[in-house]
Structure 1
Amino acid sequence: MKNEIIWDIAHLGHVELLTPKLDASTRFFTDVMGMSITEAKDGSVYLRAYDDYEHHSLKLTQHKHAGMGHFAWRAKSEEALKRRVEAIEKSGYGIGWSGNNIGHGPAYLFHSPDGHKTEIYFETVKYKSGPNDSSALKNTVSKFPGKGINVRRLDHLNLFSNDVRAFRDFHLQNLGGLLTESIVDNLTDMNPKAVWFAVNSKSYDLAVTIDYLGLKGRFHHVTYACNSREEVLIAADICLENGIKIETGPHKHAIQQTFFLYVYEPGGNRIEVANTTARLILDPDYKTIYWTVDERKKGQAWGLPTIESFHTQGTPMPEDMEYQ
């Protein structure tokens, strides 16, 4: 009998990005992306999009090079958190508990098989709007900012890995969720080159793709969602007018059908602005969609080839990586 899918994770909670240009990166996320600062402390700035319900979805931290400090999952309950911690501890990837956190309660720290620092928590601080940012709509956390790209919420995270199979197996066995799509060498060997994990009805909160440089623990991109495809097109104009480097797009992915724009924030990290509501996974016996490498060579949904830097450009770059 097939094992029941584990649904103990609610969603991607937040991402910490490292930047050598904290002030410039902060201006990008506030003035260009339209996010707001909820706190600044000890060399870090905490930000949220207008419909993120938690204290923050992004933490920017001053560092000598770009990259990801950590990312976090929010569990569905205290009981769900306990179950996932027990599983992670048995896997051998656990680090331990951290209780001194801004924006959320106790979190359990662990590493992915590739070395990405990760945490999982349940208790959280929910954002309370004030007289200057309360929405006219009671079901929106704070008002539409009317500034820059006006991103609505944190959507998903993409990481590089030099062993996608190990990452896939660790995630499904210890964190749970559903493997919604995957790129494989071929349909005989089924060696994974990329995987997309859903932990709720969204088609994915986390993607993991092969690092063609053979490096470990690197960051690929984080994605913020806006309300429409038209706003992604406008985002490209806003980035153009503000001197932000556009890597590729606007265009439509074949996998997951996301309408996307990829740019680089001033600190050097790749950021995606996207309309991500094209697909929801509602089928209770959904079967993973597999794409071969040859199929993916045909390009994105409308034939645009995947830009070469997408397979190799991640942070930190090789010249910045520290070897013990």
Structure 2
Amino acid sequence: MPVTVTLPTVAQLAHVELLTPKLEESLWFFTEILGMTEVAREGSSIYLRAYEDFYLWTLKLTAWEHAGLGHVGWRVSAPQLLDEAAAQLAAAGLGDGWFEHGELGQGRAYRFHLPDGHRMELLWDLEYYQAPASQQSPLRNRPQRRPSRGVPVRRIDHVNCFVSSVEENEAFLCEQLGFKVREIKLGADGRKVGSWLSVSPLVHEIAIMRDGTGQGNRLHHVAYWYGYPQNLYDVADLCRDWGIRIEAGPGKHGTTQGMFLYLFEPGGNRIELFGDSGYLIFDPDWHTVVWDVSNESDLYASTLWIGASTMPESFYTYATPERVLVER
């Protein structure tokens, strides 16, 4: 008998908007330290891209009174899924309505929010980047030349959100958007303290972690990918010279097996730089990896497989905004 295959609603992470009280300083960091390219400016926002991002942009910086998450954009798996997903989100009471005119380089989008309040959108129509002649790479599978400034990141990788309840937000991501749970961490009380989810062979396009302050609805970090571990040491060296605060790393997580460097861009948002791909999941019958962090061995191995003995306290309590404020 023929098998009917159902596509997940979400296909991939398309972009992230970061709010920053120091727009020009944040721009300097992303362009001069991380080697990203400015694409355009509209009003109080600046659009940026990494050199192996295929779409026009993946990062939007918006001037705001505090740091934090503006929104996360997800591309759906097929155009017809956009309207279907919008109806389901509206019925679930978490839809915020259509953004009909779209943003730079994209068509209409449906805005919604996670149970905790993080703002997100679904979209299909996206503009692909066309490099000017001076920036075209001889590699036909690379959208533009590798920039010669800073230590250039290659592509957007994932987003991590602080939530008040991992279970509630995880269920929403799986049931409404088609994510699969790849790894989880359980605390001493048996509740989940973290969940790593994806819709692709990547270990995660989104992670959700229990907010150490109990607040939720905050951004933990946005991650960009290098691929070469040496790049993390190079950018760490650059950050020390130029006064960028490093929180942790270079090191390697047990969870996802990703090599990491955590730092803070001048506006206050935490940025993770991924130094390799971790591992990939091709198994269609994947069994979620479970870490029991009440066990000292699991706590150490899952957090820091290689590197310092522990993560700083700020990793479990700091997020943006520093306290939950009135919504935008």
User: Which TM class, normalised by the smaller chain length?
Assistant: over 0.9
Partner of residue 184 from structure 2, selected from 182, 185, 190: 182
State the alpha-carbon separation in 1 of the partners of residues 50 and 191 from structure 2. 37
State the alpha-carbon separation in 1 of the partners of residues 203 and 60 from structure 2. 24
**Could you list the per-position Cα deviations for residues 21-71 of structure 1 after superposition, in whole angstroms to 9, with x for gaps in the alignment?**
000000100000000011111100000000111111000000011111111
**Structure 1 partner of 2:305:** 301
**Could you list the per-position Cα deviations for residues 262-284 of structure 1 after superposition, in whole angstroms to 9, with x for gaps in the alignment?**
01000000011112412111011
State the alpha-carbon separation in 2 of the partners of residues 308 and 127 from structure 1. 40
State the alpha-carbon separation in 1 of the partners of residues 288 and 149 from structure 2. 39
State the alpha-carbon separation in 1 of the partners of residues 138 and 327 from structure 2. 52
Q: Residue type of the partner of 2:216?
A: K
- Secondary structure of 2:196's counterpart equals strand
Q: Tell me, yes or no, if the aligned pair for 1:5 and 1:178 is still in contact at 8 Å.
A: no
Q: How does 1:1-324 map to 2 (within 5 A)?
A: 7-100=8-101, 101-185=103-187, 190-294=190-294, 295-297=298-300, 299-302=303-306, 304-318=309-323, 321-322=325-326
Q: Tell me, yes or no, if the aligned pair for 2:229 and 2:276 is still in contact at 8 Å.
A: no
Q: Residue type of the partner of 2:320?
A: T
State the alpha-carbon separation in 2 of the partners of residues 286 and 102 from structure 1. 37
Q: TM-score, normalised by structure 1?
A: 0.94
Q: How far has the Cα of 1:323 moved from its partner?
A: 8.0
Q: What is the identity percentage for the equivalent residue pairs of Structure 1 and Structure 2?
A: 37
State the alpha-carbon separation in 1 of the partners of residues 253 and 53 from structure 2. 24
Cα–Cα, structure 1 residues 77 and 30, in superposed 2: closer, same or farther, change >3 Å? same
State the alpha-carbon separation in 1 of the partners of residues 148 and 286 from structure 2. 38
- Secondary structure of 1:132's counterpart equals helix
State the alpha-carbon separation in 1 of the partners of residues 136 and 67 from structure 2. 34
- Secondary structure of 1:208's counterpart equals strand
Q: How far has the Cα of 1:185 moved from its partner?
A: 2.3
Q: How far has the Cα of 1:146 moved from its partner?
A: 2.2
Q: How far has the Cα of 1:304 moved from its partner?
A: 2.5
- Secondary structure of 1:74's counterpart equals strand
Q: Residue type of the partner of 2:266?
A: P
Q: Which stretches in structure 2 are left out of the alignment for 5+ residues?
A: none
Cα–Cα, structure 1 residues 80 and 276, in superposed 2: closer, same or farther, change >3 Å? farther
- Secondary structure of 1:287's counterpart equals coil
Which piece of structure 1 moves more, 108-117 or 83-92?
A: 83-92
State the alpha-carbon separation in 2 of the partners of residues 308 and 228 from structure 1. 28
Q: How far has the Cα of 1:190 moved from its partner?
A: 4.5
Q: How far has the Cα of 1:192 moved from its partner?
A: 1.3
Q: How far has the Cα of 1:297 moved from its partner?
A: 4.7
State the alpha-carbon separation in 2 of the partners of residues 239 and 89 from structure 1. 44
Q: Residue type of the partner of 1:205?
A: E
Cα RMSD for the two superposed structures? 1.8
Cα–Cα, structure 1 residues 215 and 6, in superposed 2: closer, same or farther, change >3 Å? farther
- Secondary structure of 1:173's counterpart equals helix
**Could you list the per-position Cα deviations for residues 67-107 of structure 1 after superposition, in whole angstroms to 9, with x for gaps in the alignment?**
11111101121122233223212211011100222121110
- Secondary structure of 2:255's counterpart equals coil
State the alpha-carbon separation in 2 of the partners of residues 225 and 289 from structure 1. 23
Q: Tell me, yes or no, if the aligned pair for 1:12 and 1:74 is still in contact at 8 Å.
A: yes
Which piece of structure 1 moves more, 33-42 or 227-236?
A: 227-236
Cα–Cα, structure 1 residues 9 and 323, in superposed 2: closer, same or farther, change >3 Å? closer
State the alpha-carbon separation in 2 of the partners of residues 304 and 235 from structure 1. 22
- Secondary structure of 1:16's counterpart equals strand
Q: How far has the Cα of 1:173 moved from its partner?
A: 0.3
State the alpha-carbon separation in 1 of the partners of residues 96 and 211 from structure 2. 25
Q: Tell me, yes or no, if the aligned pair for 1:34 and 1:149 is still in contact at 8 Å.
A: yes
Q: Tell me, yes or no, if the aligned pair for 1:72 and 1:120 is still in contact at 8 Å.
A: yes
Q: Tell me, yes or no, if the aligned pair for 2:22 and 2:266 is still in contact at 8 Å.
A: yes
Q: Which stretches in structure 1 are left out of the alignment for 5+ residues?
A: none
State the alpha-carbon separation in 2 of the partners of residues 91 and 190 from structure 1. 27
